Amino acid sequence: MFVDGAWTASESGETFVADSPATGEAIADIPQGSREDARRAIAAANRAAGAWARLTPFARAASLHRVADLVERRRDELAHTLTLDQGKPLHESRDEVEELVQYWRNAAEDGKRLEGRLANSFTPGKRVLLVRRPRGVIGVITPWNWPYTMPAELIAPALASGNTVVWTPASTTAVAAVALAECVAEADLPPGVFNLVTGPGSTVGDEIARHPGTHGVGFIGSTETGRKVAEAAAGKAIVLELGGNGPVVVLEDADLDLAAEASVTACFMCAGQSCTAGERLLVHEDVRDEFVERLARLVAERVVLGDPFAEGTTMGPLNNAGVADKMDEHVADALGRGAELIHGGARADGFPTRLYWQPTVLDGVPPESLVAREETFGPVAPVVAIESLEQAIELANASPYGLLSAIFTRDLARGLRYADAVRAGWVNINDSSNYWESHLPFGGRSGSASGIGRVGGTAPMESFTELQTVVVS
């Protein structure tokens, strides 16, 4: 772990074994952090907070650019570690590392432009300054599906806006987390500004969220865990980016080639382990047969399940047994309710672990199926028949989730009508549900199970800072 500017073991000396989902081999012993370890890190972050906040945004930006430089220098090593630890194909890992660089550089520059404003006073002769101040210590809790970029979505803006950070990553990708922390450590930030504590979320994460020494919390992960974090962090500034079941809608006037290609990306990038995945495809009955035929052909031709280090592999294993078990359950439930299996449908044999799941296409999926109602988080494309745009809106809004959705239509007015009506924080028109840009605000709609607040660009900085009113006579 990295606490107060130094690498350290846990206070108990205990470790846990990190296994690779790709090979099944043990790849590292990771410190088993405790509540006491989290408290040590929080104390260090509080000691460092005042001096870090007093630095100019330009000085902080220089530190963040050094992190980005180190990531670029170690890009091959970071990509290899990510594939070994998370399981995604090496080409996806390289893409994630490139995006990681951008997150650090974006935050460095956005921090320079984080401004207050001059407000009007009721009284003549007074000037009112509204100044943005960092909150202090930000606790960051992150998932395993994007172990580099999702932490950076929160850590980099928190640091750039003058806060110090205590970070705990998902245990199943703690090796990748340490690799990223090495880049931050080598950038030579003052001791205590950045801290990494590995260990179970139920203890380390809970302590970070609950402890009075953290003044804001950023969490990315499942809805169930997010609710627990929100309860523990009650009264603090919170950014929660949670689950999704965002539908991809294909209307009868859609470009079916475009829609099918984009759906492959939506459903099978990162083996479907993305909160923006195409968790259900709502396809108009008039074009459903043709769409399913094109989709199945593309999946058979382009989605190559295999060794994530091998040239030509486009999809690797699932990250952990829990996700694989959920795939088993959801696909079996859909088939039991009358869905038709078009492609895949089971775990793949002949691999080092049982985490390799075949890319799966299901047609005629009933809307009440688990795969159409919940977040499956696996490599499945469930096609649900619709008869109109109105029915697509109704089915989309019947979900408790409200993160992201996509629609394919040649009629821009219908696309915008869908965007106006659907309860989603982000809507793509004629592109994959997995399309996003790192500088744009991203998050769920209020009242949904997809969280609160926004990541992306300056949005987290607005949550991780607060306005101070200064009246000058």
* Residues with active-site annotation: 241, 275
Instruction: Answer whether 283's CB lies under 8 Å from 385's CB.
Output: yes
Beta-carbon-side half-sphere exposure of residue 445 (alpha carbons within 13 Å): 22
Tell me the residue type at 21. P
Burial of 23 (0-12, 13-18, 19+ CB in 10 A): middle
In Å, the largest CA–CA distance within the chain is 80
Specify the residue for token string 């870090």.
Answer: 52
> What is the rounded CA–CA span in Å between residue 160 and residue 106?
10
> What is the rounded CA–CA span in Å between residue 382 and residue 361?
6
Burial of 282 (0-12, 13-18, 19+ CB in 10 A): buried
> What's CA 334's distance to the chain center, in Å?
27
Phi, psi of 341 (to 5 degrees): -80, 120
